[in-house]
Amino acid sequence: MKVAVVGATGLVGTKMTEILEERNFPVSELIPVASEKSLGKKIKFKEQEFSVCSLADAVAKRPALAIFSAGGEVSKEWAPKFAQTGCRVVDNSSYWRMDAEKKLIVPEINSDVLTENDYIIANPNCSTIQMLLVAAPLHKAYRIKRIVVSTYQSVTGTGYKAVEQMQTERTGAEWGTYKAIYPYPIDKNILPHIDSFTDNGYTKEEMKMVNETHKILCDNSITVSPTTVRVPVVGGHSESVNIEFENDFNLQDLINILENTAGVVVKDDIKNNIYPMPVHAFGKDEVFVGRIRRDISIRSGVNLWIVADNLRKGAATNAIQIAEKLLEKGWIKM
């Protein structure tokens, strides 16, 4: 099976290639795709080397599957060109997520909505994925009325240049003497600003969490109030999530639901200071949840602390799990 990874030299693209190999996805030929400056670069995969090629060359090779992580404009133009050849496309950009004709998939939650006619499938935002993997089973049990979420997002969510900025700042470099991807220093700092601001005062990242929650859970009645924040961390995103339910709940029953949810690990033992942290989530595909406690201010509310590796379950792993579902259904041709 020929598999194209578009954006193969970026942080997420590199992780996609690693995870394809880790999960033994049946790749006979890897087609790494990147910008002109990376053409000809060698990508090692399963003890073989494959040369980075252009998008046009990749389409001409007629891969069975293409996994995109190269930005919305690239996905807008090129995902349909791959799909027209019969290639299944899983796209990690935000471009197709809210398209009414495209499915937005977290496999553990809604892979049942996929059909044989789906050739371009959207991968949700990293923060939405980890929040909803925990929230979805609770919604089924108790019906979610409202979510208030504050995120603490790793610099890896921005890419290599953000990691380089933080590392440069940690050497003591003076602001203004180096190329920065953020409008302010990120080391020893916190930026309440991810993506650009919209007319309503929220950022695009925050509105993604609102809109994607509605689409994935198929419920526009859920109100979502998000604040997304960039923190000087490498390894994963963390979220403080407050959920108000329509129906009351028994706390132990709620914990039992989470303990039996695929892809979720409950890490909650405050007597021994055990709770999720990015250092624990780094390199793992599970979503970790802890600090599970009733909201003492309302009748049917719960507070949760949710952590996941944003490059893995928040992006690459989720995309490959979508591809595995397509393969399982026989919709990717070998």
User: What is the residue whose two structure tokens read 């780094």?
Assistant: 282
Structure tokens that stand for 51 in this block: 């040369």
Which listed residue (53, 87, 126, 280) is catalytic? 126
Give SS3 for 86: coil
Q: Mark whether 237 is an active-site residue.
A: yes
Q: Which residues of 259-289 are buried (b: 16+ CB within 10 A; e: fewer)?
A: eebebbbbbbeeeeeebbbbebbbebbbbbb
DSSP code per residue over 308-325: E-TTIIIIIHHHHHHHHH
87 belongs to the catalytic site: no
Distance between CA 165 and CA 179 in Å, rounded?
A: 7
Which residues, in sequence order, are CB contacts of 246 under 8 Å at separation 6+? 142, 143, 144, 145, 300
Q: Which residue in the list 53, 87, 139, 237 is annotated as catalytic?
A: 237
What value, to the nearest 5°, has the Cα angle with vertex 205 and ends 99 and 172? 145
Strand-pair category, 301-308 with 120-122? unpaired
Catalytic residues: 126, 237
